[in-house]
Structure 1
């Protein structure tokens, strides 16, 4: 019985080694999941819980459409969109 548990534990941890690359940009959604709250860089320390990965163009378009840029990671500066 112990042998079976060890084998399943080994399989469960085997998949964890293959990490996906972190997105370069994040867009935070509101509680209703349809409104956009803020644009963040992929390495922001405060991106919120309702985030989705975004491309550079999506992040740029969101800021141009008046979605606020995070005041902590300043994605607008990295994108070359200074207000």
Structure 2
């Protein structure tokens, strides 16, 4: 009976040590994770991989083909006609609201 209990205690101690090691590794990984970019440009498929959508960094709707972008580039892309993500709304955060309406009122059915 003693041998059997000693065997189970050893298994329990080993499992606890493994879980503590795994937890420590996860904490270290989170500390060493690179900082999330402020803005993300989602890239298209094909020659040159043109930008197709701008996202706020960390947006869950951003596709796999993406790259970080500085604030100025994100603003330039949005004002040049690249789509803004409808989930994270980078145009609102960059204060580029209704720029298309300002420059082309006929697209929205209003007169100048």
Unpaired stretches in structure 1, ≥5 consecutive residues: 1-12
Offset from partner CA, 1:43-79 (integer Å, 9 cap, x none): 2111001010001101000001100000110000000
Say what the alpha-carbon RMSD is for the aligned residues. Answer: 1.5
Aligned to 2:36: 22
Q: How many positions carry a matched residue from both structures?
A: 70
After TM superposition, the score normalised by the length of structure 2 is 0.58
For residues 29 and 43 of structure 1, the distance between their equivalents in structure 2, rounded to whole angstroms, comes to 16
1:65-80 alignment runs, 5 A limit = 65-80=80-95
SS in 1 for 2:67: strand
| Equivalent of residue 63 in structure 1, options 78, 87, 94 | 78
* Structure 1 or 2: more helix by fraction: 2
Unpaired stretches in structure 2, ≥5 consecutive residues: 1-24, 99-112
After TM superposition, the score normalised by the length of structure 1 is 0.77
Structure 1 segments (4+ residues) deviating >6 Å: none
